[in-house]
Every structure is written in C-alpha cells, then in structure tokens.
Copies of this chain bind each other. A is one copy, B any other.
Amino acid sequence: MHAVELKHAYRLLNHGPTVLVGSLHAGRSNVMAAAWAMPLDFDTPKIAVVIDKATLTRELIDASGVLSLNVPCVAQRDLVMSAGNMSGKNQPDKLARCGITTHAATHTGVPLVDGCIAQLECRVLPATAHVAGPHDLILAEVITAWADARVFTEGRWHFEDAPSELRSLHHVAGGHFYAIGERVSALPAANA
C-alpha cells in the first residue's frame, strides 16, 4: 500500500465500489459491508456513506467520530458477503469468523482492512448529527488515504494492468456482485 495524495482521494470511490466500513470505540471494533458510499467533495476530500442506525458500526462511529472506508477486491468476495450478513452485535468474534484482519490507521487507530485495494481514514464532520436527521447518512472528511500500487498509481486506477482478483466489487443484490470491467475512453467534448 502507498499513500494517496488527498486531492486524489475521491478517485478511490469515484467509480462506485462497494466498501467495507471499519469502526472503533473504547476498544471495541467492527467491520461491515456497505454499497452506499460516494465522494462528497474534492479538496478537502469528504465522503458520504449510509449506515443503518441499528448497526454496531453506527453505534461505534457515533461514539468515536471516526471510521474507515476500505475498497475490497474480487479475491475478498466471500469475506465481503460475510461482513454484510453477520452482525457484530450478535457475533462478538465476527471479524475472526469472517476471516478479516485489520491494522490501525495512523491518526485515529480506526481499523483498516488488510487485503483491500484502497483504504480511507475518515473523521465524521461536526455537522453530521444535524444533517443525518431522519436519514442514515454519515458525512466525513478523509484525513489519510492509501491504495494498492498494483492497481492505483499516479492518482488513477489501472485495473487492466493487474490480476483480475484485484478488481473492485460492485454489489447488485443478494450476494451477487459485478467486478469492475474494461476500460472505456470517451472522445473529448467538442465546443466545450
């Protein structure tokens, strides 16, 4: 993994991958899967993610104000499925059962998921409690970002140069994903 310049952090999520959300409070940590995440701003980079208020992850994030977004790859598909279906509330050893190992992020200690192709360490924006209201939306600032140099270099994804097991996952429904596919380039806009 190598550090990603913060001005390029939005690109880690720009193509819409499913993510794993890491959380930590008072020694208790969790990882869950979430398909509803996106960039919210470029620089300072911010993200928006939907996390159900009924989850342990949400409890931990609300208590600590920190979270991580991790972009898993095809090689981790079973792990992502397990992380999405098993609750940390009911299964205190969820991470072990899911085969998830983590390491602590630089500034906040929030867990980053090993084997993911990108990781974003985030701090919840002060406005979020106010914003979330009836919705399950969390808005956060990205404070550090990393990516796997085999698929992301010079501020760009390069999936076509790496094994297909390193492609990002995009959840459609019920444990079925699509991997990100072929590169497609558009003509420059005329008269822009």
Which A positions have Cβ atoms within 8 angstroms of B?
11, 14-18, 35-41, 46, 48, 50, 74, 77-78, 80-82, 84-86, 91, 97-98, 127, 130-131, 133-137, 139, 155-157, 159, 164, 167, 169-173, 175-192
Query: B40 to A173, Cβ gap below 8 A?
Result: no
A51 to chain B, nearest CB (A): 12
Identify which of B86, B139, B171 contacts A191 (C-beta below 8 A): B86
Q: How far is the CA of A155 from the CA of B25 in the complex (A)?
A: 38
Query: B178 to A40, Cβ gap below 8 A?
Result: no
A177 to chain B, nearest CB (A): 4
A142 to chain B, nearest CB (A): 14
Q: How far is the CA of A155 from the CA of B172 in the complex (A)?
A: 10
Main secondary structure of the interface of A (DSSP, over half): mixed
Tell me the nearest residue of chain B to A155, going by C-beta: B173
Query: B36 to A38, Cβ gap below 8 A?
Result: yes
Q: How far is the CA of A16 from the CA of B178 in the complex (A)?
A: 11
Specify which chain B residues have a CB less than 8 angstroms from the CB of A190 in the assembled complex.
82, 97
Please judge, given known A-B contacts A15-B172, A178-B159, whether A184 and B77 are in contact too, CB under 8 Å: yes
Query: A186 to B175, Cβ gap below 8 A?
Result: yes
Please judge, given known A-B contacts A16-B15, A36-B38, A50-B39, whether A186 and B77 are in contact too, CB under 8 Å: yes
Specify which chain B residues have a CB less than 8 angstroms from the CB of A16 in the assembled complex.
15-18, 35, 38, 170
Identify which of B14, B40, B81, B183 contacts A135 (C-beta below 8 A): B40
Q: How far is the CA of A32 from the CA of B157 in the complex (A)?
A: 24
Specify which chain B residues have a CB less than 8 angstroms from the CB of A127 in the assembled complex.
133-134
Query: A187 to B157, Cβ gap below 8 A?
Result: no
A28 to chain B, nearest CB (A): 20
